[in-house]
Each structure stands twice: as structure tokens, then as C-alpha cells.
Amino acid sequence: MNSTGGPANGRTNPIGRHLQTSGGLRKTLRTAGELGCEAIQVFVSNPQGWAVPAPREDGPEFAAGAREAGISPVVVHSKYLINLASGKEEGREKSVRALAEELAAAGALGAELVVVHSGSHGGDGAMEGMERLVAGLRQARELSSEVSGETDGAVPAEPVLENPVGAGSQLCSLFGELGEAAERAGVRVCVDTAHAFVAGYDLSTPEGAAGVAEELRAALGERVAMFHLNDAKNELGSHRDGHRKLGEGQVPVASWTELLRAFPGVPAVMETPYDTPETDREEVELLKELAAGLPKERGSV
């Protein structure tokens, strides 16, 4: 596989996307190279089930291949079922254990970050939910070292907390709440741009995006570990999830330049719908250009 060589042309933000692993991790690495990814995100287990991540025979080869290609960070997205803020003790304990297992499994693959959703307080109130979320993050980190020691001894990955769309009793859709949870738990965050938009942060113009970036930096500062840089399917403030490819949703492509300009060096990983390899590569290249401060209309790459 050809090395990506990392960011170039004055650009500091590593760019990539979520990739499938169903064909094996060797195929994942090949796809990363073909798409020009400098950072990637994967699952290490079925995100819709509670099964423990199984050891991967191709894990060491994947870790070495990613290092050789200069792919960094390698990110894992944790199970969607995890809810560290759950009011049900059994569910909360299960979530802590599941996150710890994913942190350990990610570390065995050489991954640096594991994205975890902030969860829902289930009607108990944001204050109670916040206490449980913070405690759950701390417990999962402690437990991950034990889990890792039981297996291959690799250093567990770092959890990063993702902002939700703000529906129902979800926690941390506001940057201030996300920052509070991160500071108290001693973790960093992953900012999903589609989630932020439908939660009410207006990225619909470059000027609006610059303002959102200012709010984000004021609330979170250096705690922003990465972006899930996704265009939004649904309307501003709708609290309805849904991703679109860049330039095909509610956010103009020039807005991404304004956002990333405020966060030099912060990786941006897309979770946009898969298309043809050519179209997916075009989208990666588009974001690279936007991150370099050269706005382009979609399709002009």
C-alpha cells in the first residue's frame, strides 16, 4: 500500500473516513490507501450487539501497516448500545464493561481513540445523568487496563466523548455540557458536525461556522480530539440524526474551511454514506482541499 504521507501543502488536519472491516483488516488498509485516508475509523465489534470484541489474527499486521502508512489517528467507534448515564444499574455496569473491552481491543489494534456516545439520563434529569456519565467514563478507563492485562497487554486506547443531536433525554448536545463532562472525567471529545447542526449550531454559512468554531473553542479549548465531519441531512435545530456527503446536505462546503481553520491539527473523519470508490476518494480529496483553506464546489476536485 502506498503511504499517505500525512497532511501536506500547509495543511495540518489529518483527513479520513470510517471504513468497513468485514473483508478483513488487510482490505481495510488497502481501501484506506486507495481513498487517500490519513486517518481512519473502524468498529472492533458489532455495534448493535453486546458481544465482546474477538481477538483479530490480523491485528498486529494492521497496527504495523497503519504505522508504516502514516495513518494517524486510527479511531474505533464503540458500540451504539453503550449508555454510561443509564439510570438502570445493570445497564450502566454492562456499558462500563463494554467500553472497557472496546478500549482494550482498540489498543491491541494500535488505535489511539475510541469514540463513545454521551448517552441518556432516561428521565432522571441532566444533573443525575451527568454524575453517572462522568463516573462511568472513569470506571471504564480503570477497568480497561485490567482487561488489557488479561489479554495481550497492549495499552488501552483513549475514550473520547461524542456530542449527540439533543433528542429526548440525551446528554451533552450543548458544547458547555460536553466540556463539563469531559473536564470532570478527564477525557477529550469528538465533535460530530451533523449532530451539532441539528442540535442548533448554525453551520449553514461560513460566517456561522466561524461563530460556531469560536463557541466550541471557548467551551472546549484543547479538549477537541477529533471531528466527525459530516454534512447534515436534516434541518437546523431539528434534533434528528442523519448524515449526507459533503455538499449534499444542509452545510455549504466553504463552512468546513472556517471550522477547521480554528482547530489546526485536529483530525477530521467522515461518517458519510458510502458510494463508489471514485466518489468516496473525491470526497476525501475535497475535504483535504477545504482543510487547506482552498474552498471548492463539490465535484470540482
The pLDDT of residue 297 is: 43
- Residue 175 to residue 47: CA distance in whole angstroms: 25
Cβ proximity of 152 and 110 under 8 Å: no
Domains, the chain, ordered by start: 15-291 (3.20.20.150)
- Residue 42 to residue 65: CA distance in whole angstroms: 15
pTM of structure: 0.94
The pLDDT of residue 9 is: 62
- Per the listing, cell 475509523 goes with 41
Residue 8 exposed, middle or buried by CB count within 10 Å (0-12, 13-18, 19+) = exposed
Residue 158, strand partner residues: 113
Please list the ranges in the chain whose pLDDT falls under 50.
1-3, 296-301
Residue 227, strand partner residues: 191, 268
- Residue 256 to residue 291: CA distance in whole angstroms: 7
The pLDDT of residue 296 is: 45
The pLDDT of residue 5 is: 54
What's the distance, CA 255 to chain centroid?
A: 19
